[in-house]
Amino acid sequence: MKEAERHTVVLEERKRVVAEGVRQVDTFTDKEIRADTALGYLVLRGEGLSITDLNLDTGRLVVEGRFQALSYAEEKGTVRRGAGRGLAGRGLLERLFR
């Protein structure tokens, strides 16, 4: 793996995340942050999330708050909500025409 593609995530006591290899932060609220990284889209979910450090030149992102989930998606927008919940996880049209 090239140095430019290096990516790490450190979670400290569910209160602080330090991520390296961040290319861009796409969206952020106090409940969810989505960041494009060298290895896919990183999605951070929790409560009271705030970005305390962001340096895109070095690829460093620091987020503080109370974390509930960290997940990855290969492409922007591919994180599936409700996966594995039967009909609740399916799209509206799929549920209507089953």
Query: Residue 71: which CATH number?
Result: 2.60.40.2000
Residue 79 CB contacts under 8 Å (≥ 6 apart), including other chains:
34, 41, 43, 71, 73
For residue 28, count other CB atoms closer than 10 A to its CB: 16
Q: How many domains does the chain have?
A: 1
For the record, the structure tokens of 72 come out as: 């990855």
Amino acid at 38: A
pLDDT tens digits, one per residue of 2-45: 555 789 999 999 999 999 999 999 999 999 999 999 899 999 99
Between 72 and 96, the higher pLDDT residue:
72
Domain holding 58, by residue range, is 3-96
Would you state the pLDDT for residue 5? Answer: 76
CA-wise closest residue to 21 among 52, 51, 60: 60
Would you state the pLDDT for residue 83? Answer: 43
Q: Any idea what DSSP says for residue 30?
A: S
pLDDT tens digits, one per residue of 42-94: 999 999 999 999 999 999 999 999 999 999 987 655 544 444 444 444 455 55
